[in-house]
Amino acid sequence: MTQAPIELPTVRFGRDTSGFAKTLRQRVDAHFKEKGIDKKGDGRMLFKTLFLVGLYFGCLALITSGVTGGGAAFWFTQVLMGLGLAGIGMAVMHDGNHGASSKSKLLNRWTGGVLEMVGGNSEMWQIQHNVLHHTFTNIDGLDEDINPGPLLRFSPLKPLKPWHRFQHFYAWFFYGLMTLIWVTFKDYVALNRYRKFGLLEKMGKSYNQLFFRITLAKVLYYPVMVGLPLAFSGLGAGQVILGWLLMHFIGGLTLALVFQPAHVMEDHNYPLAEKGGVIEDDPLSHQLKTTCNFGTKSRFLTWYSGGLNHQIEHHLFPNICHVHYRDIAPIVRKTAEEFGLPYRSSTTFLDAVRLHTQQLRQLGRSEGAIA
């Protein structure tokens, strides 16, 4: 007998009575029309995709061929490979899975599918990120990005445990496990959770087909990423595996250093999703109240992070390629200010990390809302 799906909390957003969303969309559309450019990726996106994918697999080739040996060059190459992995996650597959890399659906599918090449599953990612995180940002019970499990407390609505008092110290270790968890068991956990919640059925996806595709990607991933270096590098199994773990730790930590400060901050909203609940704000205003930018003056950070330091622009326009975020940011800021909405974009990258750490510390000590 098939078990009935567990119903997710239902959330309804308010209407845009102020005209903010309409005005902003008109102004952004006018920007692209005046410039005579498309909202999707261009040659800059193509170059970045080739560079970051080449960096990742180029490092793998150097290690596998034995060129790096087993000394400092080996460990340095693993660090570079981890940075390549994070770059792929932020600046390649992210845009592809949002349909923003290219006007071509096929190219978007290919760039989004790079996630399978590094051990993940793009369909699971799309449900978690596009459907749940982007629609229900910082809403407890729906946004999985603020529900990491009992070891970490990202929302003041979550139960406070004694160990959370120290989370601002140990969170960084768990952040470093992010991609390792992805390539091992997270996709399977997500697949079963989404079936339980009825999301697979609603999206017309087959559990068995997804299970097969997830497993196939991982069956291919491990022989390439671990098996080839073991077979051809001349290095021992212990060093190969430790290097692989280091690569993932660098990749996971780098991703977290960009993702987490964008949403888990002191002055952000954390609405509660209850059955039949209503969020007072309209969808776009909600994004402004749960998201912030940082380090936007750094061209390198903007390039490497796939524009995710422009998190506001990304959440308002996820289908616009990140190569355009710097150009539309002044339009978004001006419109938000005109309508009396927050536009948080003044902190540097290091300040954002510091403020995120302070928020973790506060969340580990305070039962209720953040003071």
pLDDT tens sequence across 298-311: 999 999 999 999 99
Question: Which of the residue ranges 55-64, 78-87, 242-251, 346-355 would you say has the lowest mean pLDDT?
Answer: 346-355
Question: Which of the residue ranges 35-49, 68-82, 115-129, 261-275 would you say has the lowest mean pLDDT?
Answer: 261-275
The answer to whether 221 and 121 are in contact (CB under 8 A) is no
Question: Which of the residue ranges 44-53, 139-148, 253-262, 358-367 would you say has the lowest mean pLDDT?
Answer: 139-148
* pLDDT at residue 267 is higher than 70: yes
pLDDT digits (tens, 9 = 90+) for 310-362: 999 999 999 999 999 999 999 999 999 999 999 999 789 999 999 999 999 99
Query: Rounded CA gap, 266 and 361, in Å?
Result: 11
Query: Rounded CA gap, 267 and 85, in Å?
Result: 31
* pLDDT at residue 371 is higher than 90: no
Query: Mind giving me the DSSP string for 223-261?
Result: IIIIIHHHHHS---HHHHHHHHHHHHHHHHHHHHHHHGG
Residue 56 three-state SS: helix
Which has more confidence, 358 or 9?
A: 358
Segment 139-149 shows an average pLDDT of 85
Cβ-based burial of 293 (10 A; exposed 0-12, middle 13-18, buried ≥19): buried
The first and second tokens of residue 311, run together, are 């998190």
Chain-centre distance for alpha carbon 243: 24
The answer to whether 185 and 119 are in contact (CB under 8 A) is no
To the nearest whole number, what is the mean pLDDT of the chain? 92
Query: Rounded CA gap, 182 and 255, in Å?
Result: 12
> In the 8-state DSSP scheme, what is residue 339?
T
* pLDDT at residue 61 is higher than 90: yes
Query: Rounded CA gap, 145 and 266, in Å?
Result: 16
| pLDDT for residue 370 | 41
The top-scoring range by mean pLDDT among 6-10, 267-271, 345-349 is 345-349
Question: Which amino acid does the sequence have at 371?
Answer: A
| pLDDT for residue 277 | 74
| pLDDT for residue 182 | 94
Which has more confidence, 267 or 222?
A: 222
| pLDDT for residue 263 | 87
**Spans of all domains in the chain:** 11-363
The answer to whether 239 and 70 are in contact (CB under 8 A) is yes
Residue 150 three-state SS: coil
| pLDDT for residue 273 | 58
Query: Mind giving me the DSSP string for 212-230?
Result: HHHHHHHHHHHIIIIIHHH
Which has more confidence, 15 or 171?
A: 171
* pLDDT at residue 209 is higher than 80: yes
pLDDT digits (tens, 9 = 90+) for 45-58: 999 999 999 999 99
pLDDT confidence tier of residue 10, bands split at 50, 70 and 90: confident
| pLDDT for residue 348 | 93
Segment 127-149 shows an average pLDDT of 88
> In the 8-state DSSP scheme, what is residue 68?
T
Q: Count of CB atoms within 10 A of residue 7's CB?
A: 9
Cβ-based burial of 330 (10 A; exposed 0-12, middle 13-18, buried ≥19): exposed
pLDDT confidence tier of residue 1, bands split at 50, 70 and 90: very low
Residue 79 three-state SS: helix
Residue 13 bridge partners (DSSP): 279
Query: Rounded CA gap, 202 and 7, in Å?
Result: 12
pLDDT confidence tier of residue 147, bands split at 50, 70 and 90: confident
Which has more confidence, 11 or 99?
A: 99
As a whole-number percent, the residues of the chain with pLDDT over 70 amount to: 95
